[in-house]
Amino acid sequence: MNEPAFTERLLAALEMGGPAMWAIALLSVLTLALILWKVIDLLAAGAWSGGRHTQAAIEAWSAGDIAAAEAELAGRQSLRAQLARAAIAALRDTGLSRAAAEAETARVARALLARGRAGLRGLELAVTIGPLLGLLGTVTGMIAAFQALQVAGNHADPATLAGGIWEALLTTAAGMAVAIPAQVALTWFEAVVDRLRHDMEDAATRIFARAPTLQEARSARAAAE
Establish if 15 belongs to a structural domain: no
Q: What is the dihedral of CA 57, 58, 59, 63, to 10 degrees?
A: 100
Number of structural domains found in the chain: 1
Where in the sequence is the domain holding 79, given as residue range(s)? 20-40+51-224
Is the residue at 163 inside a domain?
yes
The CA distance from 62 to 167, in Å, is: 66
d(CA 53, CA 66): 14
Q: What would the pLDDT profile of 6-58 be if each residue is shown by its tens digit?
A: 566 656 666 666 788 888 999 999 999 999 999 999 999 988 887 888 999 99
Whether residue 169 lies inside any domain: the answer is: yes
Instruction: Give the Cα separation of 108 and 86 in Å (integer).
Output: 7
User: Is residue 14 a part of any domain in this protein?
Assistant: no
Query: Is 88 within a domain?
Result: yes
* Structural domain contains residue 214: yes
Q: 13 in a domain, yes or no?
A: no
- Flag whether 174 is in a domain: yes
- Express each pLDDT in 185-209 by its tens digit: 999 999 999 999 999 999 999 999 8
